[in-house]
Each structure stands twice: as C-alpha cells, then as structure tokens.
C-alpha cells in the first residue's frame, strides 16, 4: 500500500507521444510523479523494478501488433509477482478486454482514453488501482450489466444496491458513492454489506471482497 504522504510514482506506456504528454500533464497536475514515459509495454516492463513504481498506465493496443500488448504486459507483471496498480486505456468500450483486465486481479482498471480529458477521473483511477482497488469505465459497466442473466447472483440485488455496485466498479469509495447518490455514508456502508452478503462473498485474507463483487458484476465468477 503506497504511503499517502508521498506522491505516487507512475510509469506511462503509449506509442502516441502527444497522448503520453497529455496523461503526464494531467497526473502531475494531480500531484502524481510521472517517472517513466515510454512507447511500448516491453519498455515499461524493462524498467519497472528499478523505478519502484506504484502504478502504470498502458495503452491496450501498442506496437508491434496493435492488438492487446497492454493487457499482455499486465499479465506478465502479475505472473512475475508485481502488485503495482495498472490502468489500461482503450479507444473503445470492449467488454471482453475489460473482463480480461479485471481477471488479472485487484489493483487493475480499464478506462476509455476520452477520460484523459477528465483530470479528476483519471487521477482518481490511478489512486484507486495503486491502493489495490478496481476501476471500470462506466460505458463498459453499462454494457456488461445488460449481459446479466435472470438467474445471476446479481438478480438478488435491489435497484439501489446495483447502483452502488456499479459505482464500486468505477472505483468510487463509500464516501464518493454517498456524494454521487446523495446518501448518508452509513446508508452506503449498509448497502455494501448487503451486496457482499447477497453475492455470498465471505471474509477471506486472500481476496478483497469489493474486488470480487466487481468481478461478479463483470461476469467473472
């Protein structure tokens, strides 16, 4: 868990120089240190250990094939035991990519590139994944919710609980959910407990229950 009194150290991998510069400007404006800016996932993997990163921002499609290099880099990081936060950026809301990203475990996120123009959203997403949380772009969440089946565990949730879970998937804290839905913090905490109970997510030292709840929303359980 990063020290909240020390600026986060972040690396960026994207083959578009202007986008890298834009992301750097947004993050630095939010008090985050950008310590690496490279054009491929492999370049970031080569320096990840020596730079002591807290999080990484990667484009999903980069050289050489422009298909899924960013996700491959994420999977390689996790296979090597890295627990840094990883935020994947994409031009398109692709549920299949989001499922693959979230399947890599906690501390991961998937956002559309257009969120770069929303400084608070991008900075909050980095802070969330760096602390072990999960973030999914609301457009992707909307598409995935439409896929849920009638016999899915999500059908046990009330409309309000589903709204809370969708905001959890977008990386909101309980306080952020309370402000967004105009609810009291204790009310949100009650909803979260109810969600975890209805989804049969028991306390476990190996898993973060909020992340598992989000994965349930994304159809991974």
Cα dihedral across residues 216, 98, 133, 64: positive or negative: positive
Position 170 scores a pLDDT of 83
Position 138 scores a pLDDT of 84
Q: Cβ neighbours of residue 146 under 8 Å, at least 6 residues apart?
A: none
Quote the pTM value.
Answer: 0.71
Position 146 scores a pLDDT of 65
Position 150 scores a pLDDT of 47
**What residue has token string 């306080």?**
175
Distance, in Å, from the CA atom of 105 to the CA atom of 211, rounded to the nearest integer, reads 8
Distance, in Å, from the CA atom of 156 to the CA atom of 221, rounded to the nearest integer, reads 15
In the three-class reduction of DSSP (H, G, I as helix; E, B as strand; rest coil), residue 86 is classed as strand
Q: Cβ neighbours of residue 75 under 8 Å, at least 6 residues apart?
A: 104
Q: What is the DSSP string of 13-46?
A: E-S-HHHHHHHHHHHHHTT-EEEEEESSHHHHHH
The list of the chain residues with pLDDT below 70 reads 1-2, 144-151, 202-207, 219-221
What domains can be seen in the chain, in order of their start residue? Answer: 9-136 (3.40.50.2300), 148-217 (1.10.10.10)
């Amino acid at each position: 868990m990063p020290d909240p009194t020390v600026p986060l150290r972040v690396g960026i991998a994207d083959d578009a120089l202007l986008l890298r510069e834009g992301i750097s400007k947004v993050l630095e404006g939010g008090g985050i240190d950008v310590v690496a800016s490279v054009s491929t996932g492999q370049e970031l993997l080569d320096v990840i250990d020596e730079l002591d990163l807290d999080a990484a921002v990667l484009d999903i499609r980069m050289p050489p094939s422009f298909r899924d290099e960013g996700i491959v880099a994420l999977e390689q990081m996790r296979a090597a035991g890295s627990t840094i936060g990883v935020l994947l950026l994409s031009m398109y809301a692709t549920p299949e990519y989001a499922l693959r990203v979230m399947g890599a475990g906690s501390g991961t996120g998937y956002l559309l590139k257009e969120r770069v123009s929303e400084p608070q959203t991008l900075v909050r997403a980095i802070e969330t994944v760096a602390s072990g949380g999960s973030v999914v772009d609301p457009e992707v969440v909307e598409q995935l919710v439409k896929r849920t089946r009638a016999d899915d565990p999500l059908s046990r949730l009330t409309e309000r609980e589903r709204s809370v879970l969708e905001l959890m998937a977008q990386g909101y804290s309980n306080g952020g959910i309370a402000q967004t839905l105009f609810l009291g913090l204790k009310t949100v905490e009650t909803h979260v407990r109810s969600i975890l109970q209805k989804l049969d997510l028991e306390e476990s030292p190996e898993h973060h229950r909020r992340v598992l709840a989000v994965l349930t929303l994304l159809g991974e359980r």
